[in-house]
Amino acid sequence: MTSTATPVPGRRMLAVNALQKAGLIDHDERMRDVNDKPGGRKGSSKHRSHRPRPIDAYKDAGPSRASMIAARLPGPSTDSISIRGASRPTAVGRMRRNAVSVVTNKPSDASARRITVGVNTLNVWREFVQKRYNADAQFLNLERMLEDESLSKERLYPPGAPGGSAREASVIFKLASQLKPEVRTISLANNNLTGQLLSTMAHYLPNIANLSLENNNIKGFRDLDYISGRKGKLENLQELILVGNPIRDTEYEHGRGDAYKSEIGRRFPSLSVLDREPLAAIGFDAPKQSSSTSAPKLPTSTSFPCEMGPSFITAVDPSIVSTFLARFFHTWDNDRAALLNVYDPSATFSFSANTAIPARARIQGFQHSKEMPNQKKLEWTPWLTRGEGGSRNLSRMAGGVEKMVKSLHVGSEDALKSMMDLPKTKHDVGGAPEKFCLDAWPVGTSLFVCVHGQFTEQPSGGERSFDRSFVLGPSPEASRAKLNGWDVTILSDQLVVRAYSSHEAWKPGPMRVQATGGSSSAQPPISITPQMREQLAAIPEPQRSLVLQISQRTRLTIKFAVECLEGNGWDPERAVANFEQVKGNLAQDAFL
Amino acid sequence: MATLTRNDIEIATRAADHFTRLYYSTYDSPTRVNDLPNFYRPTSTVTWNGNPCEGSDGVKKVMEGMPSTKHEVQSFDCHPIPGSQPPSLLVTVSGNVVHGKGTAGNPVSTPSRSVDGQPRVFAQTFMLVPDPTAPPVKPGEVAKYYIGADAMRFVG
């Protein structure tokens, strides 16, 4: 920024004044209800609780669609900066409401929606952030901002200071997101920060690995929702320091240090160091963040790599699996208590409900079909609450670590107690075999079995779909299972219950990614000659599958399919459209 | 046989949460052909809709022919499997997945009641196993796990 740039102090105020003069501010409180009703779909409302909180005012003051995009645009060198949630709630909330509710041709209206920070102010913040950045260590040190003279000299209030707000925090985080190389570590120690002041951090700095919030004012677990990886915020966080915050101090004062660690761990699945102590975690060979810098293209294949295959059982006698499953489901339906025999004494069992409405089943209308008159009588409540601990859907779980532990049933006795409390069912395993699908093979000394199918729930008589995954082991000699005629014993059993979807989903054969144009959908598959195979082998993926697809849809030879795609930027839809235009003029040898 | 402690359950749950986020965000990313096979080993046994593929290379081949995807995990669960230390983990995932451009990629003549392009329901079960040859690299990391077995089906 050059010194000749004219400072525009109070530019935001000017905009507000203009709106007041235009009569567009300070009336119609009712508009708030119209715009902010719960369940209204707006950008930042996804994880908002239904209980209104002061923070919601900030969130609402945040992005319209347009300003979201503006906020994501690169380029720090302009004379103003638009910030997500950077407004004070009252004035801007009104401005936004008016902006959408009042038909106007005043130019000031549009410009006022863009929240601006004056040039001078912004320069001070930018210099401050740059001064605090150690690029070699990728470390942004924002400790003790209240004591920074460069800020106090300009009468700027950092977040956490009296007079400071989430607006300043947003400015800082956005400027931090523009630093090169990317910030990996941030210390915000000793700033009197509340959770709310961190509300925009994950938006601007989603990849930070290490965060110190030491000696701040983070009070409860809810405050961490603003940055929790579990809420989709800081998903790559490896180290977190909360020493010297009420949230940690209170728990330790009450002797709940372990519970505190559990709850933090649950909220940050990627965390491996908490408060300078290792937190037990399991690692994966995850792709490095930096590996995605070369911006490779999204895949373009418009067909699946394989057709839907039938049930797959390998390296194990299929009759062992089918005998087991037939007896298991029959017993589950008719004499569940007798299943105590087939669970290993240390077996694990849990069930979870996926209550989402399946898109294809909804279109197919099973809920209201004459063939399945009882679908409307089905209720989720038993699957959510019963079974001695309820559904163990770990992605939706409220109730914290306690519920997570309680809903996993360890040992055959506990497992059985849970099962006995679940609704009665009828699995028609002796009926149409296509209604069930099975994948099974040995892993180490045990057997890995995945079953998909449907059952009738009692007493409603409605149909549900299920997925069930087992780990089975050979029954030890003289074990309870063996003595009762079970050749295999259950070591682990996970049941997923979901709304009914047709078994057509796993019907063996070709599957479509998208609808195909009218005539070509009726085409039988082309037969691939050795010569064609040779030609195809010379074409790299993903082009190869496009060529094959075009050849299938148009009956063009490989050579002409390639030409057709090349002439249309490798866009298969354009290629087919182009083909339809010119196909009358093509020579016979262009076709298979 | 060792019984499960509360700590085992907590670690397993965190691992499953972390794993499902990483796995599906990698699956849906432009770098997936190179990145997704890293979760597997040459010995992993994998099926995609009943089609077997062997190990990391098999996964890579399948991914090369896969249209773009967008997964939404609606439910997941995880058990530590008693018997080994650290224990293997059985993870089941239920959710939906959109392929290609979804309904937006259908020709304009497609009837509005067509299921083509609509999200499919998928069910995927993983057996995650510790890799004794891979030393933990981070503090707190008890072990490095990989996908020993993986069965995925479209189920709706």
**Complex confidence, ipTM:** 0.95
Token pair for B66: 């896969």
Q: What CATH number corresponds to the domain at position A474?
A: 3.10.450.50
How far is B129 from chain A, CA to nearest CA, in Å?
Answer: 10
Given an 8 Å threshold on Cβ–Cβ distance, is A265 in contact with B14? yes
Closest partner residue to B153 (CB to CB) among A356, A452, A542 is A452
Which among A282, A312, A401 is the nearest to B47, CB-wise?
A: A312
Contact B94, A496 (CB under 8 A): yes
Query: B16: distance to nearest CA of chain A, Å?
Result: 8
Task: Select the residue of A437, A506, A513 nearest B67 (Cβ to Cβ).
Answer: A513
- The reported pLDDT for the residue numbered A113 is 40
By three-state DSSP, how is residue A284 classified? strand
CA distance B55 to chain A (A): 13
SS3 content of chain B, % helix, strand, coil (to 5): 30, 40, 30
Average pLDDT, chain A: 80
A579 with A443, same domain? no
List CB contacts (< 8 A) between B31 and chain A.
287, 291-292, 296
CB-nearest partner of B125 from A446, A450, A515: A450
pLDDT tens-digit map of A291-343:
445 556 667 788 999 999 999 999 999 999 999 999 999 999 999 999 999 99
Q: How far apart are CA A535 and CA A65, in angstroms?
A: 48
A92 vs A236, higher pLDDT? A236
Q: Do B154 and A272 touch (CB under 8 A)?
A: no
User: Which of A262, A312, A394, A579 to mutate: most B Cβ within 10 Å?
Assistant: A394
Nearest-CA residue of chain B relative to A266? B14
Residues A367, A459, single domain; the answer is: yes
CATH for B6-104+115-154 (3.10.450.50, 3.30.2010.10, 3.30.70.380, 3.50.7.10): 3.10.450.50
pLDDT at B133: 84
Chain A residues with CB under 8 Å of B154 CB are 308, 505-506, 511
- Does the residue A174 lie in any domain? yes
Q: Find chain A residues with C-beta within 8 A of B107's C-beta.
A: 515-518, 573
pLDDT band at A79 (very low <50, low <70, confident <90, very high): very low
Q: Are residues A438 and A576 in the same domain?
A: no
Range with the poorest average pLDDT among A354-358, A392-396, A472-476, B69-73: A392-396
Which chain A positions have a beta carbon within 8 Å of B20's beta carbon?
Answer: 395
Chain A: give the shortest CA distance to residue B133, in Å: 13
The reply to whether residue A404 touches residue B79, judged by beta carbons under 8 angstroms, is no
Do residues A462 and A580 share a domain?
no
Distance separating alpha carbons of residues A490 and A415, to the nearest angstrom: 11
For residues A437 and A322, the answer to whether their CB atoms sit within 8 Å is no
Among B49, B65, B73, beta carbon nearest to A309 = B49
Residue A429 sits in the same domain as residue A568: no
- What residues of B are in contact with residue A346 (Cβ under 8 Å)? 1, 3-4, 82
User: Is-contact B62 B36, C-beta < 8 A?
Assistant: no
**pLDDT of res. B130:** 92
- Residue A116's pLDDT is 54
CB-based contact B75 A393, cutoff 8 Å = yes
**What own/partner pairs with CB < 8 Å and gap ≥ 24 does B35-38 have?**
B35/A287, B35/A291, B36/B60, B36/B63, B37/B63, B38/A285, B38/A286, B38/A287
Please check whether residue A209 lies inside any domain of the structure. Answer: yes
pLDDT at residue number A540: 86
* A360/B120 touch (CB, cutoff 8 Å), yes or no: yes
Interface contact flag, A282 B86, Cβ < 8 Å: yes
**SS3 of A539, please?**
coil
Phi, psi of A449 (to 5 degrees): -130, 125
Find the closest chain A residue to B12 by CA distance.
A282
Residue A33 lies in a domain: no
Q: Which CATH number belongs to the domain containing residue A191 in this structure?
A: 3.80.10.10
pLDDT of the residue at A10: 41
Query: CB–CB of A471 and B141 under 8 A?
Result: no
Size of interface A-B (CB pairs under 8 A): 335
Chain B CB contacts of A515 under 8 Å are: 106-107, 110, 114, 116-117
Is the domain of A135 the same as that of A216? yes
Q: Which residue of B has its CA nearest to A283?
A: B144
Beta strands B120-130 and B88-99, pairing class: antiparallel
Mean pLDDT of A445-459: 95
Place of tokens 């290993």: A344
Shared domain check, A438 and A334? yes
Question: Which of B18, B28, B36, B78 to mutate: most A Cβ within 10 Å?
Answer: B18
pLDDT digits (tens, 9 = 90+) for B58-111: 999 999 999 999 999 999 999 998 777 788 999 999 999 999 999 888 888 888
Residue type, A49: S
Using a CB-CB distance cutoff of 8 angstroms, which residues of chain A are in contact with residue B146?
284-285
Residue A408 belongs to a domain: yes
Least-confidence region, from A203-212, A220-229, A281-290, A571-580: A281-290
Nearest to A448 among B31, B65, B127 (CB): B127
> What is the number of domains present in chain A?
3
Residue A206 belongs to some domain of the structure: yes
Mean pLDDT within B40-60: 95
- Average pLDDT in the A25-33 region? 37
How confident is the model at residue A517, as a pLDDT? Answer: 65
Per-residue pLDDT at B2: 53
The answer to whether A11 touches A115, Cβ cutoff 8 Å, is: no
Same domain, A261 and A318: no
Q: Which of A244-253, A325-334, A445-454, A575-584 has the lowest mean pLDDT?
A: A575-584
What are the structure tokens assigned to A523, written together? Answer: 């085409």
Rounded to a whole number of angstroms, the distance from the CA of B136 to the nearest CA of chain A is 7
CB contact under 8 A, B96 and A359: yes
Q: Which residue in the set A312, A394, A469 is minimally distant from B90, CB to CB?
A: A469
pLDDT tops 50 at residue A245: yes
pLDDT tens digit string along A33-59?
333 444 434 444 444 444 444 333 334
Output the DSSP codes for B105-135.
Answer: GS-TTS-TT--TTSPEEEEEEEEEEE-TTS-
Residue A238 · residue A273 · CB < 8 Å: yes
Instruction: Give B-chain residues touching A265 at CB under 8 angstroms.
Output: 10, 14
Closest CA of chain A from B43, distance in Å: 10
Domain residue ranges in chain B: 6-104+115-154
Q: What domain range is A244 assigned to?
A: 119-278
Q: Which of A83, A253, A251 is nearest to A166 (CA)?
A: A83
Which one of B77, B96, B118 would you mutate to disrupt binding with A, by most A Cβ within 10 Å of its Cβ?
B77
A361 in a structural domain: yes
Q: Which two tokens stand for residue A444?
A: 């180490």
Q: Which of A230, A505, A513 comes nearest B100 by C-beta?
A: A513
Is A516 in contact with B61 (Cβ distance < 8 A)? no
User: Do B16 and A508 lie within an 8 Å CB cutoff?
Assistant: no
Do A365 and A415 lie in one domain? The reply is yes
Instruction: Answer yes or no: do B92 and A467 touch at CB < 8 A.
Output: yes
Interface mutation target, options A438, A513, A576, chain B, most CBs of B under 10 Å: A513
Res B47: pLDDT: 97
Best residue in A233, A300, A405, A439 to probe B by mutation, most B CBs within 10 Å? A439
User: Are A586 and A468 found together in one domain?
Assistant: no
The last residue of a domain, from among A251, A278, A305: A278
* Interface contact flag, A452 B118, Cβ < 8 Å: no
Mean pLDDT of B139-144: 82
Q: Is residue A292 part of a domain?
A: no
Q: Which residues of A touch B62 (CB under 8 A)?
A: 305-306
pLDDT exceeds 90 at position A78: no
CB contact under 8 A, B94 and A238: no
Asked if B9 and A408 come within 8 Å (Cβ–Cβ), the reply is yes
Tell me the average pLDDT across A412-421.
96
The Cα B114–Cα B110 span in angstroms is 7
